[in-house]
Amino acid sequence: MRNWHGEGIWYGADYNPEQWPEQTWAEDIDLMRRAGVNLVSVGIFSWALLEPAPGRYVFDWLDRAIDLLHDGGIGVDLATATASPPPWLAHRHPETLPRRADGTVLWPGGRQAYCPSSPVFRGHSLALVEAVARRYARHPAVVLWHVSNELGCHNVHCYCDVSAESFRGWLRERYGDLDSLNAAWGTAFWSQRYHDWAEINPPRTAPTFANPTQQLDFLRFSSDEQRAQLRAERELLNRLVPQPVTTNFMIGTGIKYLDYHSWAADVDVVANDHYLTAADPQPQVNLALAADHTRGVAGGAPWLLMEHSTSAVNWQPRNVAKTPGQMRRNSLAHVARGADGVLFFQWRASRAGAEKFHSALVPHAGPDTKVFREVCRLGADLRALAEVRGSRVDADVAILFDYEAWWGAELDSHPSVDVTYTDRLSALHAALWRAGITADVVHPSADLSRYRLVLAPTLYLVRDADAAALRRFVEGGGTAVVTYFSGIVDEHDHIRLGGYPGAFRDLLGVRVEEFFPLRDGETVHLDDGARADVWTEWLHAEGAEVLAAYTDGPLPGVPALTRHAVGAGAAWYVGTRLDDDATDRLVARLLTETGVRPPVGAPAGVEVVRRRSADRSWLFVVNHTGRPVRLAVSGVELLGGTRCDGELEVPAGEVAVVREQPAPVPATA
C-alpha cells in the first residue's frame, strides 16, 4: 500500500475548472486558500475534452489548471477521467452501450453509458489512463490518483450480448463444468437444466421468477466486472505513476450491488462518498453507520471521505438544505469515525448541467454566504486536528455485513417482502448509537477476536467457514446476537436443511420448524413487554434459555428471544422484529453482559467517539441537540468546548475535540 497521508487532514472537493472560463480559476485558487483547501479531485468528467477524437489528446488546459493549483499549494487527486465516455465512443461503437434486463438501451446524454464488459470501452479507457498517467506521473501537485468515479453507480448491471458472453466466461471460471453449474443453480427445478454453455444468459426479463442462483451469480459477476475496471486501471497506474491510487466507493447511500469488502484490496486508501437522505429524521445516525461500515471495509485503517455535500443535493425528490452547523457536525463526525480527509462534491456550484442545483463550497450566491463561511471555519477546524491523522477508532462491538447476504436476502419469492437486509442492521446500529457505543461494521470473515460483542443481523446467506468463525468467537468468550432470517442458505442460495436458522442452529441452541410472517401492520407482544412486527416463527429451544415468548399473534407461548451459553460465551437469538424500545432494552442487556461501555457518559443526542494512536487518544463530542451539554472529560481542547466546573461544556450544535490526558487504557488490551 502506498502512503496517501499528508501533513494533516485532507480537505477539499471535486474541482471541475473546465466548466468555467479561465479567468475564474485564479479566484478559485484564492478562495481555496482562504478556506484551507489542500486537495482537489480534478478531471473526473473530462474525457470528452481530453480526447476529442480517438487517440488525439489535448492536455494544455489541464496542464494550466494543475500548475495553478500547484502554485497555490493545493494538492491534486487526479482522475483517470474514464468515468464517462465521450459521445464519439457510442457513435462509433454502439455496441458499447449498456442494456437493461428487458433489452432497453441506455443511451449517452447522461453519464456512465457504457457496458462494463465491453472490450472496446476497456481498450479506449486504458489508452486514456496511460496518456494521463504518462503526462502527470511526475507532476509535483499530484498526491493521489482517482480511478474512474463511483464505478457502477448507474451501469452496474448490463444484460447485452457482450455481457452475456462475459458472464458465461465468469461462470466457466467459477464452476469449471456444466454439471457443477447445474447443481449449484438447482436446475432440476422448472426444467432449467443446461446442456451447453451457449444456452446460458444473464437473468433477462423472464415470464416469472428467474432462477435465484442465476440471479445471485449475475450480481456477483456484475460487481466483479466493475471491479475489473478498477483493477485494470490500477495495474496500469502502478506501472506508470509513483503515487497511491483510490476510487470512490458508495457505502451507505443505498448502493447495494457493489461488493466493496472484496474491492478494498484494490485501492491504497478506501475512499467513500456519503450523502444524507432528506427524508431521514435522524441522518446523523445513518451517517455514523456509513462511516462505521467504510472503516470496516478499510479493515479499521483511516479512510478518506471523498465526497459529501455542504448543503442540499439535486437528486432526491425534495432536496433539503443543511441547517447552520450541520455540515460541520457531519464532517467532523466522519473524522471521529476514522476519516483522515473531508472532501465534497463539488468546489463551485455548476451554472449548467443536471447538477446545477447541487450545493458546493462556493454557492451560486458566491463566497458571502453561510455555506462559504462554514467552509472556511471547517478548514480551520481540520487544521487544528492535524495530529489525529493516522489514529484509529476504538470499537469493542462488531456488526457483520455481507453484500452477498444482502443480495440473497432480498431476492424475489421469499416469505415476506417486509424482511429487508439493512432493516435490523440499521435498528441495532441505531440502538448502539443511542447507547453511545461505536461499532465496526465488518465482513463475516473479518478477525472477530478483538471484539466483545458481535451482531449478525439478517445474515441470510452465510458460508460454512464464516458460521464456524462466529462459533469460535463465542466459544472463546464472546457474545453473539443473531436475528431472524439468518443462516438460512449456503453460498448457492440452497436451504440448509434440518430446521432454521440452519448454519446457526447449534450455536444458538434453537430449531425453527416454520416461518409465520405477519400481515402488513400486524403487531405481536412478548411476555417481557416488548412489541414486535413483521416476523414470527415456530421456534423450539433446544439447549437455549428462553428469555421471552409471544403472548399473542399466531404463536402464543412460543419463544421469541433466547440465549445459549456456549463455551466461555453466549449466543443470543432474536426471532422477531422488535420495536426500537425493545431493541434499546436488548442492547442495554447485551452491554451489561459484555461490559462494553461508552467512552464517557453523555446525554441523549450527543455523539462521543474515541480515536487512538500508540500513545494518545482523542475524544470527539458532537452535540446534535439544541442545548449546551456538559461531560466529564479532561484533557487538551483542540476544538470547541469550554470548561465549566471542571467539565467540558459543548454548546448547542457544536463539536468539541479533546486530546485526553492521560490516554485511557484500551478496553480490550
Annotated binding site for Zn(2+): 115, 158, 160
| Dihedral angle sign, alpha carbons of residues 128, 294, 3, 72 | positive
Please say which residue, 110 or 666, places its beta carbon nearer to ligand GLA. Answer: 110
Q: Report 241-280 residues binding ligand GLA (CB under 6 A).
A: 273, 275
Please say which residue, 361 or 482, places its beta carbon nearer to ligand GLA. Answer: 361
Q: Which three cell numbers stand for residue 34?
A: 482562504
Query: Cell 440471479 identifies what position?
Result: 215
Residue 15 binds ligand GLA (CB under 6 A): no
Residue 294 binds ligand GLA (CB under 6 A): no
Q: Which three cell numbers stand for residue 207?
A: 415470464
Closest CA to 607 of 438, 467, 355, 422: 438
The angle subtended at Cα 434 by Cα 578 and Cα 655, nearest 5°, is 155
Q: How far is the CB of 466 from ligand GLA (least distance, A)?
A: 31
Map residues 31-60 to x or -, x wherever contact with ligand GLA holds by CB under 6 A: ------------------------------
Name 397's bridge partners: 439, 453
Residue 340 binds ligand GLA (CB under 6 A): no
Torsion of CA 325, 331, 334, 340, to 10 degrees: -150
Q: Rounded CA gap, 373 and 367, in Å?
A: 7
Map residues 183-222 to x or -, x wherever contact with ligand GLA holds by CB under 6 A: ----------------------------------------
With residue 257 as reference, give the H or E element that holds it. none
Residue 404 binds ligand GLA (CB under 6 A): no
Q: How far is the CB of 253 from ligand GLA (least distance, A)?
A: 8
Q: Rounded CA gap, 550 and 558, in Å?
A: 6
Residue 406 binds ligand GLA (CB under 6 A): no
- Among the listed residues 35, 313, 439, 462, the single contact to ligand GLA using CB under 6 A: 313
Q: How far is the CB of 411 from ligand GLA (least distance, A)?
A: 16
Q: Rounded CA gap, 622 and 605, in Å?
A: 9
Q: What is the DSSP string of 187-229?
A: TTGGG---SSGGG-----S-SS---HHHHHHHHHHHHHHHHHH
- Among the listed residues 28, 51, 77, 150, the single contact to ligand GLA using CB under 6 A: 150
Pick the catalytic residue from 51, 150, 404, 537: 150
Q: Rounded CA gap, 577 and 534, in Å?
A: 6
Q: How far is the CB of 191 from ligand GLA (least distance, A)?
A: 11
- Among the listed residues 130, 266, 355, 387, the single contact to ligand GLA using CB under 6 A: 355
Amino acid at 491: E
Cα separations in angstroms, 75 against 18, 44, 307, 378, 508:
18, 15, 16, 18, 52
Please say which residue, 146 or 471, places its beta carbon nearer to ligand GLA. Answer: 146
Residue 536 binds ligand GLA (CB under 6 A): no
**H helix count then E strand count, the chain:** 17, 29
- Among the listed residues 41, 96, 125, 149, the single contact to ligand GLA using CB under 6 A: 149
Residue 77 binds ligand GLA (CB under 6 A): no
Q: How far is the CB of 150 from ligand GLA (least distance, A)?
A: 4
**What 8-state DSSP symbol labels residue 475?**
H
Please say which residue, 14 or 394, places its beta carbon nearer to ligand GLA. Answer: 14
Please say which residue, 47 or 275, places its beta carbon nearer to ligand GLA. Answer: 275
Mark the binding-site residues, compressed into ranges. 111, 115, 149, 158, 160, 315
Q: How far is the CB of 652 from ligand GLA (least distance, A)?
A: 28
Three-state SS for 623? strand
Please say which residue, 18 or 355, places its beta carbon nearer to ligand GLA. Answer: 355
Residue 11 binds ligand GLA (CB under 6 A): no
Q: Rounded CA gap, 21 and 402, in Å?
A: 46
Torsion of CA 469, 475, 479, 481, to 10 degrees: 50
- Among the listed residues 234, 261, 358, 429, the single contact to ligand GLA using CB under 6 A: 358
Please say which residue, 233 or 466, places its beta carbon nearer to ligand GLA. Answer: 233
In sequence order, which residues have a C-beta less than 8 Å from that of residue 239 and are 6 or more positions away?
A: none
The number of CA neighbours under 13 Å toward the Cβ of 588 is: 7
Residue 18 binds ligand GLA (CB under 6 A): no
Pick the catalytic residue from 51, 225, 233, 307: 307
Residue 361 binds ligand GLA (CB under 6 A): no
Q: How far is the CB of 355 from ligand GLA (least distance, A)?
A: 6
Closest CA to 458 of 525, 504, 395, 412: 504
- Among the listed residues 307, 402, 533, 654, the single contact to ligand GLA using CB under 6 A: 307
Total of chain residues touching ligand GLA, rule CB under 6 A: 9
* Most distant CA atoms of the chain, gap in Å: 79
Please say which residue, 271 or 467, places its beta carbon nearer to ligand GLA. Answer: 271
Q: How far is the CB of 111 from ligand GLA (least distance, A)?
A: 8
Could you confirm whether 150 is annotated as catalytic? yes
Q: How far is the CB of 354 from ligand GLA (least distance, A)?
A: 8
Please say which residue, 28 or 150, places its beta carbon nearer to ligand GLA. Answer: 150
Closest CA to 275 of 305, 299, 300: 305
Mark the binding-site residues for substrate, compressed into ranges. 111, 149, 315
Q: Rounded CA gap, 598 and 621, in Å?
A: 12
In sequence order, which residues have a C-beta less than 8 Å from that of residue 13 and are 6 or more positions away?
A: 37, 40, 41, 343, 344, 345, 346, 347, 360, 361
| Dihedral angle sign, alpha carbons of residues 158, 159, 161, 165 | positive
- With both helix axes pointing from N to C terminus, report the angle between 212-240 and 178-185 in degrees, rounded to the nearest 10: 120
Q: What is the DSSP string of 4-27?
A: ---SS-EEEEEE-GGGS-HHHHHH
Q: Rounded CA gap, 30 and 24, in Å?
A: 10
Q: Which three cell numbers stand for residue 350?
A: 455548476
Q: How far is the CB of 490 from ligand GLA (least distance, A)?
A: 23
Q: How far is the CB of 38 from ligand GLA (least distance, A)?
A: 20
Query: Cell 450455536 identifies what position?
Result: 507
With residue 57 as reference, give the H or E element that holds it. none
Interaction site with ligand GLA (CB under 6 A)? 149-150, 273, 275, 307, 313, 345, 355, 358
Q: Residues with catalytic annotation? A: 150, 307
